Structure 1
Amino acid sequence: MANLFGDSAESFSYRDLFFKIYHAKDEEDLNEVIKEFIAIFNDKNWKPLGSNMSNYGIVKNQQSNPIAALIEKVTNSIDALLTKKCYESGCNPKDKSAPQSMTEALERFYPDNNWDLNSQRRAQAQEIQIIADGKGPRKNKGYDTSVIVYDNGEGQHPEDFENTFLSLVRGNKNDVHFVQGKYNMGGSGSIVFCGKNRYQLIASKKYNSTGDFGFTLIREHPKRESDHTKETWYEYLMVDGKIPSFPIDQLDLGLDERKFKTGSIIKMFSYQFPKGYSGFAQDLNQSVNEYLFNPALPILTKDTAERYPNNNVLVNDLFGLKRRLQNEEGEYLEDKFSEVFEDEKFGRMKVSCFVFKTKVKDYDLKKTKEVIQKRYFKNSMAVLFSLNGQVHGHYTSEFITRSLKLNLLKSHLLIHVDCTEFDYNFQKELFMASRDRLKDGDETQFLRHYLAKQLSKKDGRLAEIEKRRKQAVDIDTSSNTSDLLKNFTKNMPLDSDLMKLLGKTFKLDLKDQKNKPKGGKKPKKSETQEAPFKPERFPSLFKVSGKNGSDVVAKIPLNGEKSIKFSTDVENEYFDRTDEPGELKISVLDIKSNDSEGGNKPGKPKDPTEIFNIVKSSPNKGTIKIALNPKENLKVGDAVQMKVDLTAPGKEFNEMFWVIIADKEAPKAKVPKEGDDTENLGLPQLLFAYEKKSDEQKDAVSWEDVETATTMTMDYFTVMVPDSKGDDSLERIFVNMDSSVLMNFKAKYKNPNLEQLDIANRKYYTSVYFHTLFLYMITKNRGYQISQKIEGREDYDEVDLGTYLKDLFDHYYSVFILNFGGMEEMMQGIGE
């Protein structure tokens, strides 16, 4: 080995080489180390990763996001700790006696954990650490950030590196059922984000302290003219055909509160974080929480005083976004609930919805939205799909506006879909092997449609919340607004192309207006005062609704769905809380068939999911709902006896009842709505908005009202805010009568009289209203979908039509149409 280390060979060793590499702050420093020991790092000492010179595509075509790739390292660390625990318990992880799920592994290996306590969570989090390294301070220099991931897990002997850390697609974990990994390739996805040379240091020692501490360096092979391959490849360091190693008792590697003894440690040099990432204790901590919504084990993040000398919080633990939401729900959440869906297509999934407040602390609406987006949606993930707590794919807020059509909740709704209990065949068609995105296949399309249908139901919890928020601005249009709309349509021939386009978009009903009864809307029914609900931690009451002396509580249409309600006194969070949660269990006791061949003989009890698709909702102010949808093996007239149990400590409450399968319901005839002429026209309502509305302005709203009703900000630079339901219907247009655009337009008059000001106002709101109307109409009918580049990233986010139109008017479009729009002819046409 003397010739490898040059002149200082007698005093130099693999130990010294490891520390030289490990203490390199970034890729630039490491390049200097390689130059210093060029004899060791010569081409003969590098071997292709996975023993495959065509590994470029395997490594490169994994996670498309550096954070998702880093999460794979953390997931591997969780796997390593659980595997170590399994070996320590005397069980081979691949034996049938080993845990068959991650949940079972946690229950067996960590039976007494109390990680909701700060001290115990911090102690456990030190077993997996994500540590920042790099030159500092970063404030003005923008130095590179290197990342160290440590775990006190299984570890590997140096001679086993090639079959574990350095292999690809070997399926080492495929028959270990309690870990996340399968393909033995996910950890290599981070290589492509390691600087320009893709340097990644891997070091490890076996958990039982046998063998040496081994290390190697991965890099992208520097392509040379002598290479005969089209693409380069990734390779790792072996010296004289062996992984470099040396004996240790412990090493000081800058870990938090401990020395390295066994386990694994990986350093990724000059890691390419997205724009805007700085301190680990804040930015990265938050992202790991999002991607590991409900991790099996807590994790620690650590930054350095060298990089951030003025940061008082350099070390922080995390335990997933789910627990963070639970800890902060009193301050940030307005409501949360869950629903469990059991369907023959996918098996079982649990969907949890978290609805954020419109105002928190002493922030206004705009600041609250900014804080919520930064705190909980850093990676633009509004709908999270997870397996064993790790997010495997997501939707942006586009799903909330376009599929759920809940524009008002666009910036205030987080949805978590737990896919852990999906049927295997459905699950494997849903997720990519890289575990960072959904496939674009039939199963994904079905899931999207199914979630949209279930979560957007008119009597659902989300629709109730959206309606409640929308009622913040619930006023009729002014008389001049109604006249504007009516005069416009009356003066436009019904068979004109424009009216046909309007009819397509807004379903105009103009033929019978002369026969419509006069008068405004019917007075609203008086609302009864709702009695306050006093929740209990555990239930003392559980009763099914609809018995009334009969055991039959529901007739369920064949191929239809029926909800059954239960009264209870337990708190809303009973099914979702981490401490002593409850459960709703459904079972089938008897089936009486109406089959002509089978007579009326009782059938054998079955698992309820064999005969029904089932939705179970979490408690809501004293009510629990289940929805039953009969499968094809039931027939009209069949009777099913069911038992529903609500668990509680030391006790179970249960209700038994019958449901009968009825004929399919005929479609309900549409009843025309009663209301004023404006409603019958089907055109969006025009509302005037002012910074502060006066008591005399009964038909106007304030900027704050608009923000509350739409979540969109209105200020002097805002011209118009649309209120739409998804991209399907434009319901209201709020025109800002205190905008700087209108003020500047009026300023062209010197000493204006009231008539001139009135004309200017009418030209302004008429122009804005009709241009909004026509742009919406054309864009919608032509089927455009709009996307916008995400600031600081290469990704694009889909934008709903309302947001696009608001942005369009805010950026000079309104100035153009006021000064060059030629609205005089239109105003004459509508009876100015």
Structure 2
Amino acid sequence: MRQLFLDLFSAKQEAELSEILDKNSDIFNDDNWKPLGGTSNNYSIIENQQSSPIAALIEKITNSIDATLMKRCYEMGIDPKSTYAPQTMEEAVEMFFPNRNWDLQSNRRKQAEEIQIIADGPTNETAVIIYDNGEGQLPDKFENTFLSLVTGNKNEIPFVQGKYNMGGSGAIVFCGKNGYQLIGSKRYDKTGNFGFTLVRQHPLSKEEKQIKKNTWYEYLVIDGRIPSFPIDELDLKLHNRKFVSGTIIKLYSYQFGKRYGFAQELNQQLTEFLFEPALPILTKDTKERYPNNKVLETDLFGLKRRLEKEEEDYLQKTFVEEYEDDLFFGSKLVVTGYVFANKVKNYSVSESKKHIRERYFKNNMSVLFSMNGQVHGHYTTEFITQSLKFSLLKNHLLIHVDCTHLDYDFRKRLFMASRDRLKGGGETKALRGFLAKQLSKKGSILYELNQERKNSISFESGSTTELLKSFTKDIGMAPDLMRLLSQTFKLDFKDDAKKNKNSKEKKSQQEKEEVAFSPKRFPSFFNLKGKGTKNAISLPLNGENQIQFATDVEDNYFHRTDEPGELEVALISHRSSETKGGDREGTRTEISEVLNVHKSSPSNGTIRIHLNAEGKEVSVGDELEIKVSLNGSGPSFEEILMVRLAEPKQKKEKVPKKEEDFENPGLPEFQLVYKEEKEGFLSWEKANESLPSEMNAEMVMYPLAEGEQLEKIFINMDSNVLTRFKSKDKNINEKQKEARETKYISSIYFHTLFLYTITKNRKFSLVKKTEDGASENKDISEYLQDIFDSYYTEFIINFGDKDLIESLGE
């Protein structure tokens, strides 16, 4: 049996393994295979799991983390199902690894060797080996653990991630064409033999193909039992050790879709899905696969820690928002935002964008939803552009949503059992709306950052009024044109020059008000802002109130790994207006029973708390005494506040709309951009600091659309298209050049409006096929830019505007 296992383990790829099975047909005969999970109807269970090979591999790693924690629990003599066992994964790490100090490279690397992800086989057909020095299993327990499906063997153990043993089988479908997966294990306490089995997709015979709709997955037994043999140790080419106990799994010809060096490329891929794993992991490649690679082993400890380590080089801002809201039954949701800088290290702006995307967004996951540090679902950049309406942050924003502490009933409706994607139900939709509202509302950190980037590209804008008058006069279609545009744009009556002047004055005033902030590692004060000494706050029953505290602690105080602080909001008393005499305190003890509390991390010396009573059983006149505490390794502070519930705010009556005046419509501004700096105008370099796409000679225009609103059109005055248009005639004079520039500007501006209007009015959904054949949602800015960067611009500037508009009208 030993030699059989070693032969199977030594096979580098699927074809080699198939040869071994063919040569040993007496062992691998039809009688020695049993269906996985005890049922031959397992095809749909296994096939309908993780949708990507990386996500499926993550499930294997998660099982290894669970096994390592379980081993520690048993070694401490604790029944993992008892009340003495830790009740969360976080508690388990604290209890089982009290002296871990994994921030030190040597300590982290030593622990990482307990769970290893190792590459084998050729680079174009990689085999994956997953090893853990965890609890391991006896051979006669394989069928109830590794080979079971939806049995819930870990369902009563609160500190592990896995529950039903289903996720671990998801990787089988990515194992070549035959689903080969080799499993070997020995119990941590050295009892029993080393057991092993081979999993495969059952090869249907000709007769079976005629009567079976689907095949099934099965595992090897010999004489009805899991094959096994005694060992002291096995040399399985692990890093720095021999195999003594634990579990080792080999996935043959794993379908990654592209080549990966495990030490670096795969490490980054896994890191995106393991935002904050409970334990560090080692990824290992081999000299045979990459002889010139000097880094063959790298520890992996999650995207959060990597971002913290690289914060100075890559991040402009990090913030944390903590919500306790009636939407999720008063439980806690923690959102962390990472805003990347426009320029990082020694890269140019355009190089920085590309580098950031390649380093942190390999899987196009911009919003990560996690449980116990493992990503269970995500949104793409579409959430940033469409829900938040912050298109300038599209390529520079990563949001992590920690769902670990959410109410169980709410949380279970969010994620699929495969733990790699969100469900499409009501809770998921409600949570999306909640996040969009909270993160994008005026005054939020993201709102202010987006405004900053807008201001950085706010130079002299062209007069849309004069351009419109000139254009409509030439084609004689003002009423028809305005009716078309008014279907999409909210036409206002602001004067362009006045608008630009006000914008500049506002920006100038903001710059004057900015005061240098010198943060400290620990706070030296914590004071309520703007309330004097009364500390009394009025809260409308249907509204929200923001409380601000002044402090001098650094912005990352709440989310840093080393010596973090915490902001606590607690209910001291609740005096109900409905109580006789009004002098008796209510019985409620948790603030989540009476208020929704949204807490923000420090930002330039200010900590914000938002309170509202939506969905709570409180009444006008109720008085809530609350305590706000700032605690940490440094000094602690507290403030006592009185919150009084006031009458609901009256809704403002809608002001009747004025009749539209087509003489001065509030259409989007256009802004001219030149290659080099030119007084009063944007340069390519300046524009590229904020725009999601790179302004260069190939780009004609970029429409800045935030959500449903087209705000500004950036027109490139040094594009190749304009250069060719101006040089059509060799003897052209300056006046003719100016006329052609005007033609170019007006054509691009109005055709952008037309295409935007038609796309929005017809409610088109924009989807583009990627190089690998997948479908990718595109926002309207990308769509319009792509159109103008092709031959479309050449066409419209050489075509009669009146004829073209009339053809559009038809």
Instruction: Place the TM-score, normalised by the shorter chain, in its bin.
Output: over 0.9
Counterpart-to-counterpart distance in 2, 1:166 and 1:72:
15
Give the partner amino acid of 1:299.
I
Question: Displacement of 1:596 after TM fit?
Answer: 7.2
Question: Displacement of 1:477 after TM fit?
Answer: 2.2
Counterpart-to-counterpart distance in 1, 2:146 and 2:499:
79
Counterpart-to-counterpart distance in 1, 2:585 and 2:80:
46
Kindly indicate whether the alpha-carbon contact (under 8 Å) linking 2:33 and 2:219 is maintained by their aligned counterparts in 1. yes
What is the alpha-carbon root mean square deviation over aligned residues?
A: 2.4
**Higher mean Cα deviation, 555-564 or 437-446?**
555-564
1:823 pairs, out of 785, 796, 801, with: 801
SS of the equivalent of 2:237 reads: coil
Question: Which residue does the alignment assign to 1:309?
Answer: 291
Spell out, residue by residue over 1:257-286, the C-alpha distance to the aligned partner (whole angstroms, 9 max, x if none): 1110000000000000033x4201111100
State yes or no: 1:103 paired with 2:90.
yes
Counterpart-to-counterpart distance in 2, 1:747 and 1:80:
71
Task: Evaluate the alpha carbon distance shift between residue 247 and residue 283 of structure 1 in structure 2; reply closer, same or farther with a 3 A threshold.
Answer: same
Give the partner amino acid of 2:92.
A
Task: Evaluate the alpha carbon distance shift between residue 202 and residue 491 of structure 1 in structure 2; reply closer, same or farther with a 3 A threshold.
Answer: same
Kindly indicate whether the alpha-carbon contact (under 8 Å) linking 1:172 and 1:182 is maintained by their aligned counterparts in 2. yes
State yes or no: 1:340 paired with 2:322.
yes
2:277 pairs, out of 276, 295, 303, with: 295
Kindly indicate whether the alpha-carbon contact (under 8 Å) linking 2:461 and 2:500 is maintained by their aligned counterparts in 1. no
Kindly indicate whether the alpha-carbon contact (under 8 Å) linking 1:706 and 1:712 is maintained by their aligned counterparts in 2. no
Question: Which residue does the alignment assign to 1:158?
Answer: 139
Give the partner amino acid of 1:35.
D
SS of the equivalent of 1:351 reads: strand
Task: Evaluate the alpha carbon distance shift between residue 517 and residue 453 of structure 1 in structure 2; reply closer, same or farther with a 3 A threshold.
Answer: closer
SS of the equivalent of 1:278 reads: coil
Give the partner amino acid of 2:248.
I
Give the partner amino acid of 1:446.
A
Counterpart-to-counterpart distance in 2, 1:681 and 1:561:
35
Question: Which residue does the alignment assign to 2:366?
Answer: 382
Counterpart-to-counterpart distance in 2, 1:116 and 1:737:
51
Kindly indicate whether the alpha-carbon contact (under 8 Å) linking 1:471 and 1:709 is maintained by their aligned counterparts in 2. no
SS of the equivalent of 1:528 reads: helix
1:54-65 equivalent positions in 2, closer than 5 A:
54-65=41-52
Question: Which residue does the alignment assign to 1:8?
Answer: none
Question: Which residue does the alignment assign to 1:814?
Answer: 793
Question: Which residue does the alignment assign to 2:775?
Answer: 796
Question: Displacement of 1:618 after TM fit?
Answer: 0.7
Counterpart-to-counterpart distance in 2, 1:478 and 1:447:
41
Counterpart-to-counterpart distance in 2, 1:231 and 1:826:
56
SS of the equivalent of 2:131 reads: strand
Spell out, residue by residue over 1:760-817, the C-alpha distance to the aligned partner (whole angstroms, 9 max, x if none): 222222211111111111111222221223333x432211111111111112221222
Normalising by structure 2, we get a TM-score of 0.94
State yes or no: 1:500 paired with 2:483.
yes
State yes or no: 1:694 paired with 2:678.
yes
**Higher mean Cα deviation, 766-775 or 541-550?**
541-550
Question: Displacement of 1:49 after TM fit?
Answer: 0.5
Question: Which residue does the alignment assign to 1:278?
Answer: 260
State yes or no: 1:367 paired with 2:351.
yes
Give the partner amino acid of 2:572.
L
1:209-608 equivalent positions in 2, closer than 5 A:
209-227=190-208, 228-275=211-258, 277-346=259-328, 347-478=331-462, 482-488=465-471, 496-509=479-492, 521=502, 523-524=505-506, 526=509, 527-552=511-536, 554-595=537-578, 599-608=582-591
Question: Displacement of 1:243 after TM fit?
Answer: 1.0
Counterpart-to-counterpart distance in 1, 2:283 and 2:402:
25
Counterpart-to-counterpart distance in 2, 1:585 and 1:456:
24
Kindly indicate whether the alpha-carbon contact (under 8 Å) linking 2:322 and 2:599 is maintained by their aligned counterparts in 1. yes
Kindly indicate whether the alpha-carbon contact (under 8 Å) linking 1:470 and 1:710 is maintained by their aligned counterparts in 2. no
Counterpart-to-counterpart distance in 2, 1:311 and 1:814:
47
Counterpart-to-counterpart distance in 2, 1:817 and 1:71:
51
Task: Evaluate the alpha carbon distance shift between residue 678 and residue 703 of structure 1 in structure 2; reply closer, same or farther with a 3 A threshold.
Answer: farther
Counterpart-to-counterpart distance in 2, 1:371 and 1:322:
18
User: Which structure 1 segments of 5+ residues have no match?
Assistant: 1-13
Question: Displacement of 1:519 after TM fit?
Answer: 10
Question: Which residue does the alignment assign to 1:77?
Answer: 64
Question: Which residue does the alignment assign to 1:199?
Answer: 180
SS of the equivalent of 1:624 reads: strand
Task: Evaluate the alpha carbon distance shift between residue 615 and residue 120 of structure 1 in structure 2; reply closer, same or farther with a 3 A threshold.
Answer: same
Kindly indicate whether the alpha-carbon contact (under 8 Å) linking 1:535 and 1:571 is maintained by their aligned counterparts in 2. yes
Spell out, residue by residue over 1:501-526, the C-alpha distance to the aligned partner (whole angstroms, 9 max, x if none): 3123211136x989x99995484463
Counterpart-to-counterpart distance in 2, 1:602 and 1:827:
71
Question: Which residue does the alignment assign to 1:763?
Answer: 743
Counterpart-to-counterpart distance in 2, 1:703 and 1:544:
44
2:611 pairs, out of 628, 631, 635, with: 628
Counterpart-to-counterpart distance in 2, 1:213 and 1:231:
33
Normalising by structure 1, we get a TM-score of 0.92
State yes or no: 1:175 paired with 2:153.
no
Give the partner amino acid of 2:18.
N
Kindly indicate whether the alpha-carbon contact (under 8 Å) linking 2:544 and 2:611 is maintained by their aligned counterparts in 1. yes
Task: Evaluate the alpha carbon distance shift between residue 291 and residue 517 of structure 1 in structure 2; reply closer, same or farther with a 3 A threshold.
Answer: closer
Give the partner amino acid of 1:342.
E
**Higher mean Cα deviation, 652-661 or 112-121?**
652-661
Task: Evaluate the alpha carbon distance shift between residue 519 and residue 791 of structure 1 in structure 2; reply closer, same or farther with a 3 A threshold.
Answer: closer
Question: Which residue does the alignment assign to 1:10?
Answer: none
